[in-house]
Chain A
Amino acid sequence: MSKRIVVDPITRIEGHLRAEVIVGDDGIVEDAFVSSTLWRGLEVIAKGRDPRDVPLIMQRICGVCTYSHYLKSTMAVEDALGIKIPYNAELVRTLMNASLFLHDHVIHFYHLHGVDWIDIVSALDADVEKASKLAFKYSDNPINTGENDLKKVKETVAKFANGPQGMGPFANAYWGHETYKLTPEQNLIGLAHYLKALEMQRMIAQMMAIFGGKNPHPQV
């Protein structure tokens, strides 16, 4: 008999998402459904408003890809009213979009997606010296993977993993599962990057703040 598997909440995304998968006896997926479990009605709210206010409302669709919806909604209003924007406006929009692009990739790659393939627990078994050397295989200028850096990363996480309070946001995951393909050394490098990226994203966000006043949700 086929089984129905529900994954809800899907975490490390913006918003609320549910996936249902029907799996047959042979382990083959027969059918799958995905639904977004939140509706806010921003399109209804936009109706009848001052068109200049609408992009600010639409920006609130997402605070992770903040600015995307603001930009496109502004363009939609301009399109409807036949407005041509000055060159400087184009420049500042491009700069802001570029800062979002940089920021969002870092957050998405490491903090949202990363722990699907970086096994944090396995990283604790890594040989620091080996891992530090290995990092040069992937980049001529590896980041946060000197032997001392890696030792510190390992200590931080070991303290955390072995402490009385458990692993907080990393608790109850599939650590050790066969679908995690990386070696302990590779996992440690990934973990070092995860931590460094928390610092980097904060700096990258400053770039948007320079052009747009703040981040998330620039300009206002």
Chain B
Amino acid sequence: MKWAGAITAMLALPSSFTPLMAEAVKVADRLPIIWLHMAECTGCSESLLRSANPSIDSLIFDYISLEYHETLMAAAGWQAEENLEQAMHKYKGRYILMVEGGIPTGDQEYFLTIGAHGHSGKESAVKASENAAAIFAIGTCSAFGGVQAAAPNPTNAVSLSSVTHKPVINVPGCPPSEKNIVGTLLHYLMYGTLPALDVYNRPKWAYRLRIHDLCERRGHFDAGEFVEQFGDAGAKDGYCLYKVGCKGPYTFNNCSKQKFNQGTSWPVQAGHGCIGCSEPDFWDVMGPFEEPLGDALYQTVFGGLGADATADKIGIALLTATAVGIAAHAALAAVKPPKE
């Protein structure tokens, strides 16, 4: 099991845990997984398919039993529904529930229905939550409502944790990297308990640090060397992207260390700033994405409110202060919900 070492390192466990990890996966004997799709784009499912350590085929055929996953399963219609019912019955209290997508509620609950009888997405998510051994909200939509919950949230979309009373582990990102999805699963496999979490119920092993903390452009930030405009000389020299909108200082995730697609690259490496996709309400509070928060030219959905409210705290003057991330994070959390 070549991948066990890589995963152990990613979960920030000592290398002596490697054989344990390999053992845990074998012993688990195809852990039953139910994966539901709510209001989503299937990007999280696609991200899961990119898993290399372990590879997605060994995951599906050897380590887990993917009982229900609408993007991959052969059955459709009533056979698919029957598979879901049977899995919930057969593995009662033992299956892992993974949910992708926000959940329309209130008068808009039926803006998502699933199955011949037209049950709402909310009904099926709540039902599947009841007897799950652990629940993971995969992606920012499921963790925090996501893109459909952006102002004016036309479908009253909410997070999974708002519709169930059961504990939910949030694995946000748009989409989260394959490593964060599979890592969360393997962490559970190994310990059989929920991981240490931050204030937004994100596993600390993945979301403990800011993007900014380990960013490869950080040296340029500290030296005050910024890309002023996409395509300028600074951009060619790999300068810091803060002034063209990077939200790395306010965003907690491991992208700068783990990257995406087997470590191929990540947005900042490709020359675009982070947009804060693993933070709650980032579509509303982090925009406009290509400007620093303190500097909005256009009226945003806030009518400029978000930018103004944070401008004092995230001025360019503060750029070299290491406290910038903390202050900004606190300021963002205090921003009022957007008005239309």
Q: Is B264 an interface residue (CB 8 A)?
A: yes
B265 touches A (CB below 8 Å): yes
* Binary per-residue interface labels of chain A (157-196) against chain B in the complex, 1 for a CB within 8 Å, 0 otherwise: 1011001011011111100000000000000000000010
| Partner of B261 from A40, A48, A160, A215 at Cβ < 8 Å | A215
Q: Is the CB of B57 within 8 A of A206?
A: no
Name the CB-closest residue of A to B39: A40
Q: For chain A, which range describes its interface: under 10, 10 to 19, 20 to 34, or 35 or more residues?
A: 35 or more
Note all chain A residues with C-beta closer than 8 A to B274: 220
Of all chain B residues, the one with the shortest Cβ separation from A114 is B74
Known: A48-B301, A173-B75. A209 touches B261 (CB 8 A): yes
Residue contact A40 to B283, C-beta cutoff 8 Å:
no
Question: Do A171 and B61 have beta carbons less than 8 Å apart?
Answer: no
Which residue, of B39, B64, B148, has the highest number of chain A Cβ atoms within 10 A? B148
**Bound CA span A56–B300, Å:** 15
Using CB atoms, name the residue of chain B closest to A64.
B42
Minimum CB–CB distance from A177 to chain B (whole Å) comes to: 12
Residues of A within 8 A of B275 (CB): 56, 220
Q: List residues of B (244-303) whose CB comes within 8 Å of A's CBs.
A: 259-262, 264-275, 277, 283, 287-290, 296, 298-301
Contact of A11 with B46 in the complex, beta carbons under 8 Å: no
Among all A-B residue pairs, the 7 with the closest Cβ atoms:
A63-B43, A213-B270, A41-B154, A214-B260, A173-B74, A50-B288, A7-B77
Decide if B69 is an interface residue (CB 8 Å cutoff).
yes
- Residue contact B260 to A215, C-beta cutoff 8 Å: yes
**Among listed A12-20, A26-34, A72-80, A133-141, interface-contacting one:** A12-20
Contacts of B46 in A (CB 8 A): 63-64, 66, 107, 215-216
Most chain B Cβ neighbours within 10 Å, of A107, A169, A208, A215? A169
In the bound assembly, the distance between CA atoms of A48 and B238 in angstroms comes to 33
CA distance A163 to B121 in the complex (A): 32
Indicate which residue in B41, B49, B116 contacts A60 across the interface (CB closer than 8 Å): B41
Which of A40, A111, A213 makes the CB contact (< 8 A) with B147?
A40
Which of A11, A16, A50, A160 neighbours the largest number of chain B CB atoms within 10 Å of its CB?
A11
CB <8 Å contact, A168 and B66: yes
Find out whether the CB atom of A169 lies under 8 angstroms from the CB atom of B72. yes
What residues make up the interface of B, taking CB atoms closer than 8 Å to A? 29-30, 32, 37, 39-47, 49-52, 55-57, 60-61, 64-67, 69-77, 79-83, 111-116, 118, 121, 146-148, 150-155, 157, 174-175, 177, 231, 259-262, 264-275, 277, 283, 287-290, 296, 298-301, 340
Pick the contact of A217: B52, B146, B175, B290 (CB < 8 A): B175
Bound Cα distance from A12 to B151, whole angstroms: 30
Q: Which residues of A contact B264 (CB under 8 A)?
A: 206, 209-210, 214
Instruction: Contacts A63-B175, A202-B49, A220-B174 known; list 7 others, CB within 8 Å.
Output: A11-B80, A41-B155, A45-B283, A49-B301, A50-B289, A52-B288, A173-B75
Bound-state Cα–Cα, A51 to B56, Å:
37
| A57 within 8 A of partner (CB) | yes
Measured between beta carbons, the chain B residues less than 8 angstroms from A14 are 41-42, 71
Task: Report the Cα distance A172→B82, complex, angstroms.
Answer: 8
> Smallest distance from the beta carbon of A23 to chain B beta carbons, Å?
14
Judge whether A7 and B155 touch: CB under 8 Å: no
Contact assessment for A171 and B260 in the assembled complex, using a CB-CB cutoff below 8 Å? no
| Chain A residue at minimal CB-CB distance from B245 | A52
Query: A171 with B83: in contact, given A6-B116, A63-B41 (CB under 8 Å)?
Result: yes
How many angstroms between the C-alpha atoms of A95 and B153 in the bound complex? 34
Contact A205 B43 (CB under 8 A): no
User: Nearest Cβ distance between residue A37 and chain B, in whole angstroms?
Assistant: 5
B150 is contacted by which of A57, A170, A210, A216 (Cβ under 8 Å)? A57
